[in-house]
Structure 1
Amino acid sequence: MRPADGATTWIVISRDYEIHSEATSYLTALASQQDASVHTLRSYAGRVALYLSYCAGFGICWSAPTIVQLAQFLRWLVEEPLPARSQRVLAEPRHRSKKTANAIMTTSCQFLRHCSLHGWVAADLTALLTEPRLLHHMPTGYNTGEDDQYRTVRARKLKFKVAVSGYEYLTDEQVLRIIDLTRHARDRFLVSLLAETGVRIGETLGLRREDMHLLSNSTTLGCPTVGPHIHVRRRQNSNGALAKSRQPRSIPVSDDLVGLYADYQWEREAVPEAASCDMTFVNLFRTPLGSPMKYQATYDLFARLAKRAGFTTRPHMFRHSAATRWIRQGKQRHVVQNLLGHVSEQSMEICLNPRELHQTGENPQVAWSRRGVEGLRGPFKVAA
């Protein structure tokens, strides 16, 4: 916790609880320069600690690895079994996916590039981490320049080739099924809000009561937007939630959703500890009562809902469901882009390609995996 504002931050420490200054510098830069969320910092801290632990375990100087050693690290990430979740249960060894390994390697290379800027890592090394690549297929709106000088870009060299993951969404019947399976007014409103507005889970948990403009006319609140709506704003929150989009936006909501919010307020008022909290979603059924809901509580909720429903359910799938519904209703591309909070038109490509759309049918037991890096064994750990 930062003494100045009480916000959670993450550092990397050794087995002897010594702070790894270079890794902590990288995390500080992410927080200050890129305004990364606490959730992102925790994930990146785990990846850097895993890289440092690997180097220490294999006698590699973390600041001067060779390309071959980094390639071996990438291979090790998928070959090294993850720790068993329980010693009492005999199960097949679990391994990281190539997609996860790519994410860890990307963060590790970013860490090395950050250190290079400060003179802690040789610039020659970071230059070898990418290679020139000619773009044969141009993204929509990409300008290659008058002489095609921007057609060649720097691309990551160390990564596995993986298939692009499908675009998972829920049908209207599946969405209604999940809503019916909720047992509390708060959870019913939470799921319905995700399904109707397409907001990200970080944006949802970051909503404050002042963002809920659910009257037919909000001019008395100083808001000129007509009709009931919510405001999504990027700001630091005590629960670590952070809106991904830097641009604020408003999203219209239905009268039915307004009614669900009223039901939730009635339920919330029965918990005196929640009265002083300005966050929209708070703990009502577990301690600490009245405190803002955090990511993990939401993950646990959707894991329970997925188990009851019998199909995979994740918060981001409701965002995909909303986008799919709007597109099929014939909403214009720029309208959907604004509702979703996408800055780039390229982010809309997968939504507009029907070949990428497929319904989920996975095992509900794998509906949610804990965030962060599993299998973090070695002298370096992360600490809040």
Structure 2
Amino acid sequence: MYVRRVVGTGARRETYTVVDGDGRVVETVDDYLALCTDREHSPNTLGARALDLKVWLAFLRLMDLDPLTASPEHVGQFAGWPRRPGQPGHLRSADTDRGPARETSTVNRALNSVYMFYEFFARRGVGMGAQLSHRRAASIGDHGGFLGGIAERQITTRPTRLKQTKRRPPTLTDVEVQQILDACGRVRDRLLMALMFETGCRIGQALGLCHEDMDQNPIS
């Protein structure tokens, strides 16, 4: 089973699908990825979804299960399998274990792809999508967005997710920042890069700035 890049639909020139060992497209996955393509998800997102679902299908094959007959219990079992893949029911000596094969963030991304895959089929009235999430009352700390606290609301939660440690992203040194600024051939580019370095804003935020957003009065 492998992921194959194919011609997309609509505005997407390319998309991805999953092909089994006999060279046949896995129709259930292809239907879902076709929807993602029509919604113009980015190529990176489409490729990641295809890879995640390929891993899920490999797990189901070991369990001798059809994708549409799998249960939430199997999703829970799958959460640990990419970390230490092996034949279900077979024991391995701890002395030969080399540690997790995949990072926690990668497994959580795969679980998210599985959830969305079954939510797609739940709209057709098949699969376990309706069993993979439940709604609870919102509590302190839940992000509600603008005016989120003026009325009671509920949060959709997914039961299976690995605990993930937040890691601080690497940052550039002052020397590296200066090298980037010196490499800018235009004043416009240098201003844009300096603005992002000094303020921490993202590229979209920087490009959306107007003259009235800037305080041009010198600091006394």
Structure 2 length-normalised TM: 0.71
Structure 1 residues 157 and 322, CA gap change in structure 2 (3 angstroms): farther
Structure 1 residues 139 and 31, CA gap change in structure 2 (3 angstroms): same
User: What CA deviation, in whole Å up to 9, does each residue of 1:191-239 have, x standing for no partner?
Assistant: x59xxxxxxxxxxxxxxxxxxxx7xxxxxxxxxxxxx7xxxxxxxxxxx
* Match in the other structure for 1:85: none
* Match in the other structure for 1:373: none
1:101 corresponds to 2:107:
yes
Task: Tell me if the contact between 2:18 and 2:54 (Cα under 8 Å) persists in the aligned partners.
Answer: yes
* Match in the other structure for 1:22: 28
1:127 corresponds to 2:109:
no
CA distance in 2, matches of 1:61, 1:340: 48
Task: Tell me if the contact between 1:55 and 1:62 (Cα under 8 Å) persists in the aligned partners.
Answer: yes
CA distance in 2, matches of 1:116, 1:38: 25
CA RMSD of aligned residues (A): 3.6
Structure 1 residues 80 and 30, CA gap change in structure 2 (3 angstroms): same
User: What is the deviation of 1:156?
Assistant: 1.8
* Match in the other structure for 1:112: 118
Matches within 5 A, 1:154-169: 154-169=156-171
What 5-or-longer segments of structure 1 have no aligned partner? 82-91, 181-187, 194-213, 215-227, 229-251, 258-318, 328-332, 342-384
Task: Tell me if the contact between 2:83 and 2:100 (Cα under 8 Å) persists in the aligned partners.
Answer: no
Partner of residue 339 from structure 1, selected from 179, 182, 206: 206
Partner of residue 41 from structure 1, selected from 40, 46, 52: 46
User: What CA deviation, in whole Å up to 9, does each residue of 1:241-294 have, x standing for no partner?
Assistant: xxxxxxxxxxx5238x9xxxxxxxxxxxxxxxxxxxxxxxxxxxxxxxxxxxxx
1:325 corresponds to 2:198:
yes
User: What is the deviation of 1:132?
Assistant: 2.7
Task: Tell me if the contact between 2:18 and 2:26 (Cα under 8 Å) persists in the aligned partners.
Answer: yes
CA distance in 1, matches of 2:8, 2:148: 48
CA distance in 2, matches of 1:336, 1:11: 32
CA distance in 2, matches of 1:109, 1:78: 18
Structure 1 residues 22 and 322, CA gap change in structure 2 (3 angstroms): farther
What letter corresponds to residue 20 of structure 2 in structure 1? S
Task: Tell me if the contact between 1:26 and 1:114 (Cα under 8 Å) persists in the aligned partners.
Answer: yes
User: What is the deviation of 1:22?
Assistant: 1.5
Structure 1 segments (4+ residues) deviating >3 Å: 3-6, 138-142, 175-180, 321-324
User: What is the deviation of 1:29?
Assistant: 0.8
| Range moving further from structure 2, 53-62 or 127-136 | 127-136
Q: Provide the aligned length of Structure 1 versus Structure 2.
A: 191
User: What is the deviation of 1:50?
Assistant: 1.1
CA distance in 1, matches of 2:132, 2:99: 31
Structure 1 length-normalised TM: 0.43
User: What is the deviation of 1:14?
Assistant: 1.0
Task: Tell me if the contact between 1:326 and 1:336 (Cα under 8 Å) persists in the aligned partners.
Answer: no
CA distance in 2, matches of 1:162, 1:24: 30
Structure 1 residues 156 and 142, CA gap change in structure 2 (3 angstroms): farther
Structure 1 residues 254 and 98, CA gap change in structure 2 (3 angstroms): closer
What letter corresponds to residue 172 of structure 1 in structure 2? D
CA distance in 2, matches of 1:74, 1:3: 30
User: What is the deviation of 1:42?
Assistant: 1.4
User: What CA deviation, in whole Å up to 9, does each residue of 1:109-167 have, x standing for no partner?
Assistant: 1111112223442xxx22221233433125484423533x22x3102211012122324
User: What is the deviation of 1:95?
Assistant: 1.4
Structure 1 residues 131 and 52, CA gap change in structure 2 (3 angstroms): same
Local SS of the residue matching 2:134: strand
1:11 corresponds to 2:17:
yes
Partner of residue 171 from structure 1, selected from 169, 173, 194: 173
